């Protein structure tokens, strides 16, 4: 089958939820992808923030294939070494006390919502969760309810009760607190709404408010986690201490995994039967994730911060680009034109970029080189200044 036939078959048989670009990828290495005609693309999207060590990463493949040759699945009726190892690594690196594994970001957030609600029930019968306007927490019904964007809610109501959307100010969050509130959930850097970095003062203020009012602080690090921002998790940039942290995307190196980390008192909230997932913490995904997490060390994080500054500086030097935002290698910017049009033109010239609302979004693999950043800037300059 050639590319055209694959696209026709996909359009005929796959549910029409994705507005795909007309490109069929076949293989790749690092930050380079090749389509089925052999055309090369430079990757500044990482499959939406997933492939943090690029594609075909040797160490990850080794870890995954070794586990694949031993055991692929057991269910959570039994113990496996990769799941225990990954949980220990996450606890060591974050100070979390317990981890629950699912298979995606939305599932990690579902777990966080359940943990917060059970904790709230045990502490005064509370269940309300405050999230922010313009947030994004996933596509399941509960995580959509948590998502503070009207457009995602159309067609799918009624939603579970107990979610309120605050303006991203301390007064805004405070105004949403009632006797029923048990938690505040934030993305320190809102990805889907356009790489919107919440100010340090605000995040610290939310933490303080949570402490004063007995609320849990939940950080959704699904997109901003796992080294993306030059910190292992972006909340670490501000030195705050959440009670629950969720992550997914970059953790699995390309295989599905989501993790919900529980800190302090919160870690004791779940008992037998409270939550579960057939595939969650699958040994192959976990073996791969261990090989990823082990390599997100201080050296790599320093490089991510440095390369992020370099990339952002380069973008600021391009006429027509405004409003560059981000942290590390999670970057967004505006141009005078629709972001989708810029993305399409970049792809025509062999550069993969993402969009988020009206903004272009860049989430390159963390291993991107300065030469590759220069090449990406060159293509962006051509497209935007044309």
Ligand X SMILES: *Cc1c(COP(=O)(O)O)cnc(C)c1O
Whole-number minimum distance, CB 54 to ligand X, in Å? 19
Whole-number minimum distance, CB 179 to ligand X, in Å? 28
Q: What is the CA radius of gyration of the chain?
A: 21
Cβ nearer to ligand X, comparing 96 with 106: 106
Cβ nearer to ligand X, comparing 197 with 384: 197
Residue 191 interacting with ligand X (CB under 6 A): yes
Residue written as tokens 């690092």? 30
Whole-number minimum distance, CB 89 to ligand X, in Å? 20
- Give the residue among 13, 58, 234, 216 at the shortest CA–CA distance from 129: 216
Using CB under 6 A, which of the segments 115-123, 130-138, 342-350, 367-375 binds ligand X? 130-138
| Alpha carbon distance 337, 359 (integer Å) | 9
- DSSP letters along 246-267, please? EE-GGGGBTB--EEEEE-GGGG
Whole-number minimum distance, CB 103 to ligand X, in Å? 8
Contacting residues for 101 by C-beta, under 8 A, at least 6 apart: 83, 86, 87, 257, 258, 259, 260, 277, 280, 281, 286
Whole-number minimum distance, CB 50 to ligand X, in Å? 9
Contacting residues for 280 by C-beta, under 8 A, at least 6 apart: 76, 100, 101, 102, 103, 107, 258
Site mask, ligand X, residues 226-265, x = CB under 6 A?
A: ----------------------xx----------------
Binds ligand X (CB under 6 A): choice among 51, 94, 181, 223: 223
Cβ nearer to ligand X, comparing 142 with 269: 142
- Element of type H or E holding 335: none
Cβ nearer to ligand X, comparing 243 with 372: 243
Site mask, ligand X, residues 79-118, x = CB under 6 A?
A: -------------------------xxx--x---------
Q: Are 235 and 229 in contact (CB under 8 A)?
A: no
Using CB under 6 A, which of the segments 1-9, 12-20, 186-194, 372-380 binds ligand X? 186-194
Backbone torsions φ then ψ of 81, nearest 5 degrees: -65, -45
Whole-number minimum distance, CB 136 to ligand X, in Å? 5
Residue 280 interacting with ligand X (CB under 6 A): no
| Alpha carbon distance 149, 5 (integer Å) | 36
| Alpha carbon distance 164, 182 (integer Å) | 12
Q: Are 296 and 274 in contact (CB under 8 A)?
A: no
| Alpha carbon distance 59, 50 (integer Å) | 16
Whole-number minimum distance, CB 327 to ligand X, in Å? 14
Binds ligand X (CB under 6 A): choice among 43, 57, 110, 192: 192
Residue 57 interacting with ligand X (CB under 6 A): no
Cβ nearer to ligand X, comparing 173 with 363: 363
Q: Which residues bind ligand X (CB under 6 A)?
A: 104-106, 109, 136-138, 187, 191-192, 220, 222-223, 248-249
């Amino acid at each position: 089958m050639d590319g055209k036939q694959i696209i026709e078959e996909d359009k005929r048989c796959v549910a029409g939820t994705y507005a795909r670009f007309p490109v069929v990828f076949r293989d790749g290495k690092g930050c380079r992808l090749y389509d089925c005609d052999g055309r090369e693309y430079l990757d500044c999207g990482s499959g939406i923030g997933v492939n943090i060590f690029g594609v075909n990463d040797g160490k990850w493949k080794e870890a995954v294939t070794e586990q694949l040759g031993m055991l692929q699945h057991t269910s959570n009726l039994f113990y496996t070494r990769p799941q225990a190892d990954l949980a220990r690594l996450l606890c060591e690196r974050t100070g979390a006390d317990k981890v629950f594994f699912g298979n995606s970001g939305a599932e990690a957030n579902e777990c966080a919502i359940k943990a917060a609600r059970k904790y709230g029930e045990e502490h005064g019968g509370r269940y309300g969760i405050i999230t922010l306007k313009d947030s994004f927490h996933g596509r399941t019904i509960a995580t959509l309810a948590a998502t503070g964007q009207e457009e995602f809610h159309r067609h799918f109501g009624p939603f579970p009760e107990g979610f309120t959307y605050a303006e991203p100010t301390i007064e805004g969050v405070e105004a949403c607190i009632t006797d029923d509130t048990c938690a505040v959930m934030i993305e320190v850097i809102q990805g889907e709404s356009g790489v919107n970095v919440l100010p340090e003062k605000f995040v610290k203020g939310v933490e303080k408010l949570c402490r004063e009012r007995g609320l849990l602080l939940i950080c959704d690090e699904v997109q901003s986690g796992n080294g993306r921002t030059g910190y292992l998790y972006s909340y670490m940039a501000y030195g705050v201490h959440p009670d629950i942290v969720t992550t997914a995307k970059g953790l699995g190196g390309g295989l599905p995994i989501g993790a919900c980390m529980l800190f302090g008192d919160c870690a004791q909230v779940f008992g037998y039967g409270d939550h579960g997932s057939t595939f969650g913490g699958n040994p192959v995904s976990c073996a791969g994730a261990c090989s990823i997490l082990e390599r997100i060390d201080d050296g790599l994080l320093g490089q991510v911060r440095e390369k992020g500054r370099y990339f952002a500086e380069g973008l600021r030097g391009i006429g027509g680009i405004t409003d560059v935002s981000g942290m590390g290698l999670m970057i967004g910017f505006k141009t005078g034109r629709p972001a989708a049009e810029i993305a399409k033109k970049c792809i025509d010239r062999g550069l993969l970029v993402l969009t988020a609302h009206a903004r272009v979004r860049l989430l390159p693999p963390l291993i991107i080189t300065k030469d590759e950043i220069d090449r990406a800037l060159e293509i962006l300059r051509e497209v935007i200044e044309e």
